[in-house]
Chains A and B, each alone.
Chain A
Amino acid sequence: MSRARLGAALALGGLLAAGCFSADDGPSAERPAPPVPPRLEPLTVPDWPPLGPRARVDARCSDDVGVRRIAAHFGYSAVVVGQGTELAASFTGAELGEGQGLLRVVCCDVSEACAERRITGLLVDLTPPEIEAERLVASPLGDGFEGDVAVWVRDAWVLGSVELSFAGTTLRHELPKVYPSTLGTDWDVSRVTFPAKELPRGSGKAVVTARDAAGNATTRELDLRIDGAPPVVAIVSPAPDAVVSGSSFVVKLTASDADNPTPPRINLWIGGARVAELEGPRAEIAVDTATLSPGPTEVRAVARDDAGNESVAARVVVNVE
């Protein structure tokens, strides 16, 4: 006996053992009329949103004799069995498994006559999106990038919305209910900004919740600071009209920013030429005079905090000898 025939014989033997069909059946027996397949109603899946873990695909099947089972085949396979001439089944996204592709729903009656319905390209999304912080310090006085709190959100399939709650204020950003052309090829990524001027000033924890279109959600707690107060800078020395001689002179600076735990940075110009960027709140630097012309020379300092707020410039004019 060939292997193929042996395999088939073993399979049939198994079927007999399971009672799937009668041993009396055979070509010599009188043949009854072929069974009528059950009637499987058309499947309906809304165009939006994609299926999440709790979303359902419903199937209804009926048969003149009896419905044995309805099975759904996707990433996973799931089966509902029953009795009677009608059977209804719901398959959740969690039961179907994550992925995008062909869904087959098969209904078989007691005679093993089956009917099948398909959905191609079905999307089941079970994984929540990810949140990555970009800019968590912003100024309500800033323009463009510096005036926004920014996070990046990414989802393997389709993004839905992002919400930021801070100090009693909640801002929400809803992404359009569309499927990006890169679906299935690339992750769905978006930079989401929240204007600092729409948030209360201060420091604290912000709760950011990102949801994908299927309803999966991720929540992150991030340290946020909305800072609208510019720092203050002062030139401690040299004094106005001081005479500076020798190979160098010392510039002492202070910068304060009352509501900011991060010391501001101080930029220093000598004679209009930028010399150094120093870290506050106190900074001291010796500046060589070898390349300065004798005469009045302006010393100017501007402090800038990490939210982008700049101080009013402090200036003194010294006399270089």
Chain B
Amino acid sequence: MWISRRRAFLLLPGVLLACSVNTGSSTNTTNGGCGGPGGGPWGSSVRGAPRDDGERGKAPGDPAPTGQMWKPVETETCGRAGVSWILVDEVCGDGEGNDDPDSLHAPMFRDGAVVGDHLFAVDATHLWTFDLSKPTDSSRAALLTGLGTPLAVDRRGSELVLAAGASGLVMVDATNAAAPKRARSTALAGSAYDVEVRGDTAYVAMGRAGLAEVDLAPASPAVRRSWSLPGFSAGVATRGGYAYVAACSTFRVVELSTGKVVAEAWVPAPIVKDRLVAPAKKVTLVGDVAFVAAGRYGAVAIDVTKPLEPSVLGNCTLVDTPSFYASGVRANDGKLFVAGGEWGVLPVDASSPEASCSTLMALAPPEDDPDVSCSPLPPWEVVPWEKIWAPPPPGKDPIQTLPVGDRVYAFGDARRIGVRAVDVRSALDPSLPIVQRFDEPRTLLGVAAGADRVVAAGPRGGVFVVAPSGALTRAATPGDATLQASTAVTLLGDGRWAALGDAGLTVEGSAAPIVVPAASAIAPVSASKIAVASPTLGVQVIDVDTGARAGHALAHAAHLPLSVAADAAAVYYAAPEWPAAARVAGGASVDLPAHAVFDAEDALDASLWRMRLPRRHLLTSPRGLVEVAGLGPAVGLVLHAPGGAKRTGLPPLTYAGAATDGDHVYVVGIDRSLYKSYLVSVDVTGAEPEVLAVEAFTGAASGVAVSGGRVFVADADGALRAYAVGASGAAVLTSTTEVAR
């Protein structure tokens, strides 16, 4: 073979390959020689497997906007199935309706009525009463439950008529506004979602069961007639022998004498890509126009001059404002008020109702479901902890309005993770300024107990003397203002209280607070020392008398507020999302054994966070460190005993505090959607911890303390509950002390 020198250079790589193989066999070469791996001159055009992004269709981490809910739907692309989460209307769903009223439990008001000088608001579990005659006092006058699932309310004189979900129609005697009582009720063929009262008759929208007409005059209200209608009847208004029904995917006119659907009208193409984009939810009549609350379509105006020939006139909405979502609509004195969800209240001039919303604005179909792929970012950034307990944001999120005189009451919340709220706005000003606000009380935020006194933090906090009987009496002290500006309190070893607020850490009797930036938890270490935990500063042990500090960096990054506990030997701390707590002793930080309630992989699962945020409470006791940990559906108590960890499950709740007397642990939990709180008594003396008792009460438990054979629970609703420790160790309620200003 002859190869010119020039050609030899060109063939050099190939020749090198040829000269380094074994004869008579095939050989893979991975390092030089006759070839190379994928990165070599031949492999450079071969790419390896893509990165696995962990896509798995996990549930979204954010709560749904007001008036809507997340719904999982199966998807299929290229024969590959998956799960996407889409936003649908909370009542209408995809158009077929949501026939589970219990799914509407949320910490928000849904509707209300005014009787005399009292406002009555419903939140799907309770009826709240507010006194309107005291503009400067927004405190609640009464609270009533046992009313089914109250979703809507109208009035008949001084009687409130509640559409109470599966409990049908429930009537409340509000003659004594400060003490309303459940009076009567009527079972219905279906769940009650909306009600309108005309004289002695109530018309009820019953979802898939249609409509009912109830005679309220007799002592026992009776269903006079009911009509099965197609679709889902979500809202109703009546006039002149016709019922105008907001029926999710359409608007129907029902002739009451026959129960027949005589006409239908709605916006074109209310269903796009199998999604209901114009959900007809509520309806009100102004003159000859029916205004229907319809989600992003706002208020749809329908001319019903001729009930048999309704025609859509147009709609009033904010096309370029995604936060505007109409869930309710009412009118008064020539003005229409549209409850636009997180956007607020949209006032519309309805003096000439046929001209109020005269243009039909079609909205673009919703975007496909939001990104549900796994993100490399920690999921706990989605819900910043401190925002939940900050002062309520300006009133927003109305789901229904109630115009009365020169006022408009907007019922809602401050996001689904916020608090129930009713904004009172002035209807005299087109901007509807807020003149008053009623919301969930947050009067007590923490509690500590000593031998003969209980100290509470929060707007109605202070010092309470414990009588031998266990009764509590407020004692005015110089530190009351500090306690009332604080969010947490503890007692030092010498009995002084130490309270944590925006100004810092203040000790009873001291002149100035100790600055502790971003502190989230405190725990006594000794007579004069206190442990303070902060995501930015780590754990500090501060001598409150000398100011000396000993600091320790956190063993791991913390994204949620830390919990801290201390005894003579060590300081313990943990962020709620950690699989294990840490212990600082002798200047070194060491991880404790994992609590095993959830692991590191669970902590990255946004769907679990959406179910329930992680929580952590630490307590020191003679038997070992007690750790209460929870995430999603799992909550457990772990006793880190010298011989090994002992564990038990706890009821699946969001726990707000824990305390121990050494032999027992008392934990308080809260379900904000139900406005119910729970005290769980646990025995930790046996081979395994054992739940002794569970007590449920209406309110918002914010802390628990134990002292002298008694358990004290702070209820943000405005009370201190005192319990005696029974023979079994279970806490038995002995007194409830309302904490007035």
| Interface residues, chain A, with chain B CB atoms under 8 Å away | 8, 11-12, 14-15, 18, 20-22, 25, 27, 29, 31-32, 35, 68-69, 71, 73-82, 89, 91, 95, 97-102, 104, 106, 108, 110-112, 114, 127, 132, 145, 152, 154, 156-157, 159, 175-176, 178, 180-181, 184-193, 247-248, 270-279, 283-288, 290-295, 297, 320
Residues of A within 8 A of B22 (CB): 81
A292 and B79 CA atoms in complex are apart in Å by 54
Residues of B within 8 A of A75 (CB): 37-38, 43, 46, 48
Contacts beyond the supplied A99-B46, A276-B676: 10 A-B pairs with Cβ under 8 Å: A29-B2, A76-B30, A112-B14, A186-B53, A187-B50, A189-B80, A272-B165, A273-B145, A278-B694, A295-B182
> Is B624 located at the chain interface by the 8 A CB criterion?
no
Quick one: CB contact mask for B169-187 with A, threshold 8 Å, 1 for yes? 0100000000001110000
B35–A247 CB distance below 8 A:
no
* A189 interface neighbour in B4, B55, B694, Cβ under 8 Å: B55
A35–B1 CB distance below 8 A:
yes
Beyond A69-B21, A276-B694, whether A293 also contacts B181 by CB under 8 A is yes
A191 and B81 CA atoms in complex are apart in Å by 5
B49–A156 CB distance below 8 A:
yes
| Complex A-B: 11 CB contacts under 8 Å | A15-B19, A74-B38, A77-B36, A80-B25, A99-B43, A175-B80, A184-B50, A272-B167, A273-B147, A279-B649, A285-B696
Q: Give chain B nearest CB distance to A274 CB in angstroms.
A: 6
Binds A, one of B5-13, B194-202, B545-553: B5-13
Residues of A within 8 A of B697 (CB): 248, 287-288, 290
Beyond A157-B49, A272-B164, A276-B694, whether A291 also contacts B1 by CB under 8 A is no
Q: Which residue of B lies closest to A287 (CB)?
A: B696
Residues of B within 8 A of A274 (CB): 102, 105, 125, 149, 674
Residues of A within 8 A of B23 (CB): 81
A157 and B733 CA atoms in complex are apart in Å by 63
A286–B649 CB distance below 8 A:
no
Interface centre among A127, A273, A291 (most CB of B within 10 A): A273
Q: Which residue of A lies closest to B3 (CB)?
A: A21
A248 and B27 CA atoms in complex are apart in Å by 83
> Is B318 located at the chain interface by the 8 A CB criterion?
no
Q: Give chain A nearest CB distance to B267 CB in angstroms.
A: 29
Quick one: CB contact mask for B136-160 with A, threshold 8 Å, 1 for yes? 0000000111111100000000000
A145–B72 CB distance below 8 A:
yes
A21–B694 CB distance below 8 A:
no
Beyond A80-B26, A272-B148, A275-B674, whether A132 also contacts B47 by CB under 8 A is no
Residues of B within 8 A of A185 (CB): 50
Chain B, interface size category, equals: 35 or more
Q: Which residue of A lies closest to B11 (CB)?
A: A112
A271–B147 CB distance below 8 A:
yes
Residues of A within 8 A of B164 (CB): 272
Interface centre among B42, B57, B183, B678 (most CB of A within 10 A): B42
Chain B 37-63 interface residues, beta-carbon cutoff 8 Å to A: 37-38, 40, 42-43, 45-50, 52-53, 55-57
A57 and B318 CA atoms in complex are apart in Å by 62
B82–A102 CB distance below 8 A:
no
A171 and B29 CA atoms in complex are apart in Å by 43
Residues of B within 8 A of A184 (CB): 47, 50
Q: Give chain B nearest CB distance to A142 CB in angstroms.
A: 14
Q: Give chain A nearest CB distance to B567 CB in angstroms.
A: 31
Q: Give chain A nearest CB distance to B177 CB in angstroms.
A: 14
> Is B467 located at the chain interface by the 8 A CB criterion?
no
A274 and B42 CA atoms in complex are apart in Å by 68
Q: Which residue of A lies closest to B35 (CB)?
A: A77
A286 and B698 CA atoms in complex are apart in Å by 12
Beyond A25-B3, A81-B24, whether A291 also contacts B143 by CB under 8 A is yes
> Is B15 located at the chain interface by the 8 A CB criterion?
yes
Beyond A190-B82, A274-B102, whether A284 also contacts B694 by CB under 8 A is yes
B57–A191 CB distance below 8 A:
yes
Residues of B within 8 A of A82 (CB): 24
Q: Which residue of B lies closest to A268 (CB)?
A: B696
A81–B125 CB distance below 8 A:
no
Residues of B within 8 A of A132 (CB): 56
A110 and B3 CA atoms in complex are apart in Å by 12
